[in-house]
Structure 1
Amino acid sequence: MYIHQDINDVQHQYFRKPQHLSKKDAIKLFLWNPKSREIFGRTGVSWAKIGIFYTVFYGVLAALVAVCMWVFLQTLDPRIPKWQLHESLIGTNPGLGFRPLPPEDNVESTLIWYRGTNKENFEVWTNALDEFLLPYKTPGSISGRGQNIYNCDYGQEPPRGQVCDVDIKSWAPCVQENFYNYHRSAPCIFLKLNKIFGWVPHFYNESTSLPDIMPRDLKDFINTTAIREPHTLNTIWVSCEGENPADLENIGPIKYYPRRGFPGFYYPYENSEGYLSPLVAVHFERPVRGIIINVECKAWAKNIKHDRADRIGSVHFELMID
Structure 2
Amino acid sequence: MADKKGAGAITEQYYTPPPKLSGWESFRIFMWNGETGEFLGRTAASWGKILVFYCIFYAALSGFFAGLLAVFWQTLDPERPKWELGESLIGTNPGLGFRPMPPEAHLGSTLIWYKSNRPDNMIYWHDTVNKFLDEYIEPKFEENIDSECNFGRIATSGKYCPFKIESLDNCSPGKTDRKYGFPEKKPCVYLKLNKIYNWIPRVFNETDESQISDEHERSQYRKMPDFLKEAIAQTRNPAERNLIWVSCEGESPADVENLGPVHYSPRRGFPAYYFPYKNVKGYQPPVVAVQFERPKPGVLINIECKAWAKNILYERAERKGSVHFELMID
Normalised by the length of structure 1, the TM-score is: 0.92
Q: What is the letter of the counterpart of residue 214 of structure 1?
A: M
Instruction: Give distance in 2, aligned partners of 1:20 and 1:159.
Output: 86
Gaps of at least 5 residues in structure 1 are: none
1:318 aligns to 2:318 (yes or no): no
1:123 shift after superposition: 2.3
1:48 shift after superposition: 0.9
Instruction: Give distance in 2, aligned partners of 1:158 and 1:6.
Output: 106
1:229 shift after superposition: 1.8
Question: 2:166·2:173 contact (CA, 8 Å) conserved in 1?
Answer: no
1:71 shift after superposition: 0.6
1:107 shift after superposition: 2.6
1:150 shift after superposition: 1.2
1:183 shift after superposition: 1.4
Identify the residue that residue 159 of structure 1 maps to in structure 2: 156
Instruction: Give distance in 1, aligned partners of 2:86 and 2:302.
Output: 32
Determine what percentage of the aligned residue pairs are the same residue.
49
Normalised by the length of structure 2, the TM-score is: 0.90
Q: Give a deviation string over 1:188-223, Cα, whole Å, max 9, x none.
A: 100000011111111111122351111011111111
Change (3 A) 1:62 1:7: farther
Question: 2:261·2:293 contact (CA, 8 Å) conserved in 1?
Answer: yes
Identify the residue that residue 22 of structure 1 maps to in structure 2: 22
Moved more, 209-218 or 266-275: 209-218
Instruction: Find the residue that maps to 1:184 and give its secondary structure.
Output: coil
1:168 aligns to 2:154 (yes or no): no
1:7 shift after superposition: 10
Question: 2:144·2:280 contact (CA, 8 Å) conserved in 1?
Answer: no
Identify the residue that residue 98 of structure 2 maps to in structure 1: 98
Q: What is the letter of the counterpart of residue 142 of structure 2?
A: G
Instruction: Give distance in 2, aligned partners of 1:116 and 1:246.
Output: 22
Q: What is the letter of the counterpart of residue 293 of structure 2?
A: E
Identify the residue that residue 129 of structure 1 maps to in structure 2: 129
Identify the residue that residue 242 of structure 1 maps to in structure 2: 250
Aligned residues: CA RMSD: 1.7
Q: Give a deviation string over 1:62-87, Cα, whole Å, max 9, x none.
A: 10110110111110111211121112
1:147 shift after superposition: 1.1
1:8 shift after superposition: 6.0
Instruction: Find the residue that maps to 2:63 and give its secondary structure.
Output: helix
Identify the residue that residue 198 of structure 2 maps to in structure 1: 198
Q: What is the letter of the counterpart of residue 21 of structure 2?
A: L
Q: Give a deviation string over 1:225-280, Cα, whole Å, max 9, x none.
A: 1xx12111221110111110011111111111111101111111111111111000
Moved more, 171-180 or 247-256: 171-180
Change (3 A) 1:137 1:7: farther
1:212 aligns to 2:222 (yes or no): yes
1:18 shift after superposition: 2.6
Q: Give a deviation string over 1:154-209, Cα, whole Å, max 9, x none.
A: 11211111011110111121023411111111111000000111111111111223
Describe how 1:1-322 pairs up with structure 2 within 5 A.
Answer: 12=13, 15-139=15-139, 142=140, 145-151=141-147, 152-177=149-174, 178=176, 179-207=179-207, 208=209, 209=212, 211-225=221-235, 228-322=236-330
Instruction: Find the residue that maps to 1:318 and give its secondary structure.
Output: strand
Instruction: Give distance in 2, aligned partners of 1:255 and 1:214.
Output: 17
Instruction: Give distance in 1, aligned partners of 2:13 and 2:173.
Output: 94
Instruction: Find the residue that maps to 1:120 and give its secondary structure.
Output: helix
The alignment of Structure 1 onto Structure 2 pairs a total of residues equal to 310
Off by >4 Å, runs of 4+ in structure 1: 5-9
